[in-house]
Structure 1
Amino acid sequence: MYKKLAKQFHPDLGGDTVTMQEINREFAFASAQAIKGEGNKSEEEVAEEIRLSEEYRKAIAKIIHLEGIVVEVVGYWIWVTGDTYPWRATLKQAGFMFAPKKMAWYFRTADYAVSKGGKKSLDEIRAKYGSEKLQEDRAKRNYLN
């Protein structure tokens, strides 16, 4: 099904990038579930997904207010770029790790860990999975903290 959709929606074959990124994202998620042997989700699995999304929300809330950084969700990882050097201790304390080849910080849960770093650039990862930049909503700042 993935191959059929990729042939139909790939940007090089007349499709659009956003649709292809969504197909790649869904394929990565479905592949991860298939590898783990997951089918229909139990209440415990749904509760685990909620816990994981809460981990991401808390990690973002700890850093979103930092000046000069760019926070973006790329696939199932959070990447931080920009002027991160002054904030390296804060980022590390919030659970972010530094990827020296990409010159960027990232956060992901153990479910999305990889055995070794990939060779793709951050731009290549963005192109494959799509990217959504996050900005602090100053009206809700007290809620985030």
Structure 2
Amino acid sequence: MQWFQDCRTLQEVKATYKKLARQHHPDLGGDTATMQEINREYALATAKIMSGAGLTDEETEHEILSSEAYRQAIESIAHLIGLTIEIVGHWIWVTGNTYPVRDSLKKAGFFFAAKKQAWYFRTAEYKTARSSGKSLDAIRNKYGSETIGDENLKRKSGNQLDR
């Protein structure tokens, strides 16, 4: 972890984030890639402190995204045709031709975000108190995203999903 390695409390993480955002936000002369990295590390640092886990940022991200719940969610919809599956922050977002497979998405634990016209999956520990109100593109811009393709799904082993 580059940006939040010295933070031990949630208040320290938030204060550090505000300071970094003032320095690196694209609207204030910074660049998008650096701000996305800061946002990703902020999410990991927050999750790490809230869970009380003593994990490195790589271990925390790996644990979240390779957890049994995420693996099962992705595997249960991977065979569905016409979908785009993305990892954005700690959430899985599904777009594309979802209407015909909406029952399968519900059964797999996905929820529909009407304003974003997309389905999402997240575990209970990463549930936010309220919706951010941001568009899916804004969320992608903030955290970055990675599309899960057929080649990535075929590389899973055990409880791990290689992204």
2:40 is the alignment partner of 1:20: no
Letter in 2 for 1:5: L
Match of 1:111 in 2: 125
CA deviation map 1:76-123 (0-9, x unaligned): 000001100011011111111111111110000000112222211111
- SS for the counterpart of 1:19 is helix
Pick one of 73, 77, 88 that aligns with 2:102.
88
Q: Any residues of structure 2 matched to 1:63-78 within 5 Å, and which? A: 63-78=77-92
Q: Does 1:2 align with 2:2?
A: no
The Cα shift of 1:67 comes to 1.1
Q: Would you say the 8 A contact 2:26–2:35 is kept in 1?
A: yes
**TM-score, scaled to structure 2:** 0.70
Q: Deviations over 1:24-81 (max 9, x none)?
A: 11112223444x372635xxxx8xx479722111111111221111110110000001
Query: Residues 50 and 21 of structure 1: is their aligned pair in 2 closer, same or farther, counting only changes over 3 Å?
Result: closer
> Secondary structure of the equivalent of 1:118?
coil
Give the gaps of 5 or more residues in structure 1. Answer: none
SS at match of 2:115: coil
Other structure's SS at 1:79 match: strand
- Would you identify which runs of 4 or more consecutive aligned residues in structure 1 move more than 6 Å? 141-144
Higher fraction of helix: 1
| Count of matched residue pairs | 137
Asked if structure 2 preserves the Cα contact closer than 8 Å seen for 1:74 and 1:129, the reply is: yes
Identical amino acids, percent of aligned pairs: 58
1:136 corresponds in structure 2 to 150
Q: Which has the higher contact order (CA 8 A, sep 6+)?
A: 1
CA distance in 1, matches of 2:88, 2:153: 25
2:6 paired residue number: none
TM-score by length of 1: 0.77
- CA distance 1:20–1:109, change in 2 (3 Å): same
Unaligned 5+ runs, structure 2: 1-15, 159-163
Query: Quick one: distance in 1 between partners of 2:140 and 2:78?
Result: 20
Give the superposition deviation at 1:143: 7.1
- The 3-state SS of whatever aligns with 2:154 is helix
Name the stretch that deviates more: 4-13 or 97-106: 4-13
How far apart are 1:141 and its partner, in Å?
A: 8.4
Distance in 1 between residues matched to 2:134 and 2:114, nearest whole Å: 13
